[in-house]
Structure 1
Amino acid sequence: MISADKIAEHMEVIAADGIHVGTVDHMDGESRIKLTKNGFDDGRHHLIPIDWVDHVDAHVHLTKNSDYVRSQWSSIN
């Protein structure tokens, strides 16, 4: 599993199919990444589990494709 300390604010999050799915707002505890609400029509934050992270370099790369991510993430105000 990826260590939460490798994930920083403003990092781009990229799905396994190469599509941008969000930007890191901050870590929500040790197990979830909270995405900024910028760029989302619903104006809400979205949360994805750190278990979906494949690796981190300049970006956060996920193991799931963008359709799966968008259908399974959690949303909060």
Structure 2
Amino acid sequence: MNSNIREHMEVIGADGVHIGTVDRMEGDRIKLTKADSGMGSHKGHHHYIPASLVAGVEGDRVRLSANADVAVDEFEEEEGDPT
């Protein structure tokens, strides 16, 4: 299924809420674009979502198995980012 994930796809939670936009796959993680990286402390740098959270790919959307608020808690920060 991860092979179906492509650059610029929208990532949404199980609840349909927009989480981010795919930059690319890196191993078993989805790297989100920096420009669409969320709010507050999540803004302005890359985040990664474990591919294990992917429930399916529907057209140009990657749907996760968790609601958006839960998925955001699972974000992995880009190493070297200021916190």
TM-score, length basis structure 2: 0.82
Please list, as runs of the form range in 1=range in 2, the aligned pairs for 1:36-75 lying within 5 A after superposition. Answer: 36-40=33-37, 41=39, 42-58=43-59, 59-75=61-77
Q: What is the CA RMSD across the aligned residues, in angstroms?
A: 1.2
Amino acid at match of 1:36: T
Q: Which runs of 5+ in 2 are unaligned?
A: none
Q: Distance in 2 between matches of 1:5 and 1:75?
A: 23
TM-score, length basis structure 1: 0.88
Amino acid at match of 1:16: A
Q: Distance in 2 between matches of 1:26 and 1:13?
A: 12
**Larger-gyration structure (1/2):** 2
Structure 1 runs (4+) deviating above 6 angstroms are none
* Matched residue, 1:33: 30
Confirm whether residue 20 of structure 1 aligns to residue 18 of structure 2: yes
Percent identity (aligned): 46
Q: Distance in 2 between matches of 1:52 and 1:69?
A: 8
